[in-house]
Chains A and B, each alone.
Chain A
Amino acid sequence: MPLLEIKDLSFTYGPGTVFEKKAVNNVSLSIEKGDFIGIIGHTGSGKSTFIQTLNGLYKPTEGQIILDGKDIWENPKKIRNVRFRVGMVFQYPEYQLFEETAEKDIAYGPKNMGLSDSEIKERVMKAAKFVGLKPELLKKSPFELSGGEKRRVAIAGVIAMEPDILILDEPTAGLDPNGRDILLAQISAYHREKENTVLLVSHSMEDISRIADKILVMNKGNMFAFDDTKKVFARGEELEKIGLRIPEITKIMIGLKDRGYNVSTDIYSVEQAVNEIIKLKKPNRKG
């Protein structure tokens, strides 16, 4: 049984009003435990709306979301429990901070779960460690921290709830390249250690190709593709057609193929490309 099953999900904003807009259109997919899924798509492709239906912030207009065999809207009063299991880090999460100290802010989620004080403390420490926050920062006001530190506090606030599924909406937006790499590495390490499920929304194909096992491509509210990373990149030309920027290295491979070289185009890292090109050279070598 898949951990999370999405069946014919549609979501319409303001149905029956002048502002009616269908944001997600008939999406069906299954997410297994331990998946690391990258979600890409243009601004307005419905990806943010899609992920917000997964933890019950939006109620689907049509279709179902089934978590562990149970429709999450079966009992609307228990939707909070779904939100604890499906943790969501919003875009620019640092704007949600409000407590006196970073520590208290991280504890907000676990506190809402009704955990004991000792358990909360332990979870806060663990979460802070995962995102690389120094213990001395935890006693500071979140408003005194730097932008990158604030973001870490906010992400830790969701990780501390120890959700089975962690959804991150562009966690690296606005960070410098170095900060971006570190944060992605930490998310990746967290995923490996906890063996939980992570959904990561990003604009950057390069970032996603590096860490995701599977990719969901959204286009105009529809599911354009959902497959292993390699198979999605094999459709590089189609991705370009819907206006997504594919990794430079994939473009090079497509270019080579267009010029009549027999290379595969499901390539998204330099190492893969090197191997592929070497393969190409070998049979042609004379002598």
Chain B
Amino acid sequence: MLKEITLGQYFPGRSVLHKMDPRMKIILLTVFIVFIFLTKNYVSLAIMVVSVIFVILFSGVSLKLYFKSLKAIIFIVLFTSVLNLFYGTGDPLFQWKFITITQAGINTSVFVAARIISLVLISSVLTYTTSPTDLTDGIEKLLKPLSVFHIKIHEIAMMMTIALRFIPTLLEETDKIMSAQKARGADFDSGNAMTRIKTLIPILIPLFVSAFRRAYDLAMAMESRCYHGGEGRTRMKVLKYSKYDYIALCVVCLLCIGVIICNIRLPITLRTGM
């Protein structure tokens, strides 16, 4: 049951996106998301949506997985876009009792839906094609300048790596403990809210105990291998930009220029900034 969660999961592969440097991927993702929200007319929106689709096809990860990640947010998308439908200003296209639908309303809801979906999909591409260790390495490198302010970047990155590393382990453990308690007659599927919360106790306590045990063991193992924080630590795999990164950078730059030109030259369809 819990094994079906794909959020933040990594799927090894050999696509161009897998070969890219995590730093570049993070930077380009950020730029990409900013520009998804800067689109002001259908042409520029189309540029971003089409490029999201291309990126997905390039990632070499099964399309099924992307649909799965969309399944989780489909409700939010529907809710916000339906809500936006009724809040447009201007001449009504359709009127029934208190419901008025305007062209502006339709525009906003299309934009909202397209933006949220693209946002989720493009972020999924990052996690699907980047291993957790690469991802945190990239974040650590990118945040390095902040250490001027005495922020312990290495420690933060290490904590993130460890947290990510233990998500599958803890999920598996939860599964096991649930089975063990079910075998002793625990009932998770019936009863009112209060009794249901009570049935969680036999799962949560063993889970916490084992999380602490694992934390102690890990700390001990790290210390016995002389870990003492990030100072003077070198990397086995040094991050390096390759030709793929520069190509990707150029492509994203062109996309951004395209969006800017469309926004300036073509009539703006979306006036209310989201």
Chain A residues within CB distance 8 Å of chain B: 14, 17-19, 52, 55, 57, 80, 83-84, 87-88, 90, 93, 95-98, 108-109, 112-113, 143, 157-158, 161
| 10 A-B pairs whose Cβ atoms sit less than 8 Å apart in the complex | A57-B182, A57-B183, A84-B185, A88-B183, A90-B179, A90-B180, A90-B183, A96-B184, A112-B184, A143-B209
CB of B53 within 8 Å of the partner chain: no
10 pairs of A and B residues whose beta carbons are closest in the complex: A112-B185, A98-B205, A96-B180, A109-B184, A88-B183, A90-B180, A98-B202, A57-B179, A98-B206, A95-B206
CB of B272 within 8 Å of the partner chain: no
- Could you tell me the distance in whole angstroms from the C-beta of B200 to the nearest C-beta in chain A? 11
Chain B residues within CB distance 8 Å of chain A: 3-4, 62, 64, 173, 176-177, 179-187, 201-202, 205-206, 209-210
Could you say which of B64, B173, B181, B183 has the most chain A C-beta atoms within 10 Å of its C-beta? B183
Cβ contact within 8 Å between A14 and B3: yes
* In the bound complex, CA of A127 to CA of B64 (Å): 50
- Could you tell me the distance in whole angstroms from the C-beta of B232 to the nearest C-beta in chain A? 38
* In the bound complex, CA of A144 to CA of B195 (Å): 28
- Could you tell me the distance in whole angstroms from the C-beta of B179 to the nearest C-beta in chain A? 5
* In the bound complex, CA of A5 to CA of B206 (Å): 34
Interface majority SS on B: helix, strand, loop or mixed? helix
Could you say which of A18, A98, A112 has the most chain B C-beta atoms within 10 Å of its C-beta? A98
Q: Which residues of A have CB within 8 Å of B187?
A: 80, 112
Cβ contact within 8 Å between B183 and A83: yes
Contact partner of B3 among A19, A57, A87, A90, CB < 8 A?
Answer: A19
* Identity of the chain A residue whose Cβ is nearest the Cβ of B189 in the assembled complex: A77
Q: Which residues of A have CB within 8 Å of B179?
A: 52, 57, 90
Q: Which residues of A have CB within 8 Å of B206?
A: 95-98
* In the bound complex, CA of A52 to CA of B181 (Å): 13
- Could you tell me the distance in whole angstroms from the C-beta of A165 to the nearest C-beta in chain B? 12
Could you say which of B182, B186, B201, B210 has the most chain A C-beta atoms within 10 Å of its C-beta? B182
Report the number of A-B residue pairs with Cβ-Cβ less than 8 Å: 61
Q: Which residues of B have CB within 8 Å of A95?
A: 173, 176-177, 180, 206, 209-210
Q: Which residues of A have CB within 8 Å of B177?
A: 95-96
Cβ contact within 8 Å between B184 and A158: yes
Cβ contact within 8 Å between A108 and B184: yes
Q: Which residues of B have CB within 8 Å of A143?
A: 209
- Could you tell me the distance in whole angstroms from the C-beta of A53 to the nearest C-beta in chain B? 12
Cβ contact within 8 Å between B183 and A55: yes
* Identity of the chain B residue whose Cβ is nearest the Cβ of A167 in the assembled complex: B183
With A90-B179, A108-B202 as given contacts, are A18 and B64 in contact (CB-CB < 8 Å)? Answer: yes
With A83-B185, A90-B179, A95-B176 as given contacts, are A18 and B202 in contact (CB-CB < 8 Å)? Answer: no
Cβ contact within 8 Å between B185 and A158: no
* Identity of the chain A residue whose Cβ is nearest the Cβ of B187 in the assembled complex: A80
Q: Which residues of A have CB within 8 Å of B62?
A: 18
* Identity of the chain B residue whose Cβ is nearest the Cβ of A19 in the assembled complex: B3
* Identity of the chain A residue whose Cβ is nearest the Cβ of B185 in the assembled complex: A112
Cβ contact within 8 Å between A157 and B202: no
* In the bound complex, CA of A113 to CA of B51 (Å): 58
Q: Given A18-B62, A96-B181, A108-B185, output 8 extra A-B contacts at Cβ < 8 Å.
A: A52-B179, A80-B185, A80-B187, A87-B183, A95-B176, A95-B210, A96-B206, A98-B201
* Identity of the chain A residue whose Cβ is nearest the Cβ of B205 in the assembled complex: A98
- Could you tell me the distance in whole angstroms from the C-beta of B196 to the nearest C-beta in chain A? 14
Q: Which residues of A have CB within 8 Å of B176?
A: 90, 95
Contact partner of A161 among B4, B182, B184, CB < 8 A?
Answer: B184
Could you say which of A83, A84, A87, A95 has the most chain B C-beta atoms within 10 Å of its C-beta? A95
* In the bound complex, CA of A55 to CA of B180 (Å): 11
Cβ contact within 8 Å between B181 and A161: no
* Identity of the chain B residue whose Cβ is nearest the Cβ of A79 in the assembled complex: B182
Cβ contact within 8 Å between A83 and B182: yes
* In the bound complex, CA of A157 to CA of B210 (Å): 19
* In the bound complex, CA of A102 to CA of B67 (Å): 47
Q: Which residues of A have CB within 8 Å of B182?
A: 57, 83
Cβ contact within 8 Å between A113 and B185: yes
* Identity of the chain A residue whose Cβ is nearest the Cβ of B204 in the assembled complex: A98
- Could you tell me the distance in whole angstroms from the C-beta of B178 to the nearest C-beta in chain A? 9
Cβ contact within 8 Å between A109 and B185: yes
Q: Which residues of B have CB within 8 Å of A96?
A: 177, 180-181, 184, 202, 206
Q: Which residues of A have CB within 8 Å of B181?
A: 96, 108
* In the bound complex, CA of A18 to CA of B64 (Å): 9
Contact partner of A112 among B173, B180, B186, B205, CB < 8 A?
Answer: B186
Cβ contact within 8 Å between A161 and B185: yes
* Identity of the chain B residue whose Cβ is nearest the Cβ of A160 in the assembled complex: B184
* In the bound complex, CA of A96 to CA of B183 (Å): 11
Could you say which of B180, B184, B185 has the most chain A C-beta atoms within 10 Å of its C-beta? B184
Q: Which residues of B have CB within 8 Å of A17?
A: 64
* Identity of the chain B residue whose Cβ is nearest the Cβ of A143 in the assembled complex: B209
* In the bound complex, CA of A57 to CA of B176 (Å): 11
* Identity of the chain A residue whose Cβ is nearest the Cβ of B64 in the assembled complex: A18
- Could you tell me the distance in whole angstroms from the C-beta of A124 to the nearest C-beta in chain B? 13
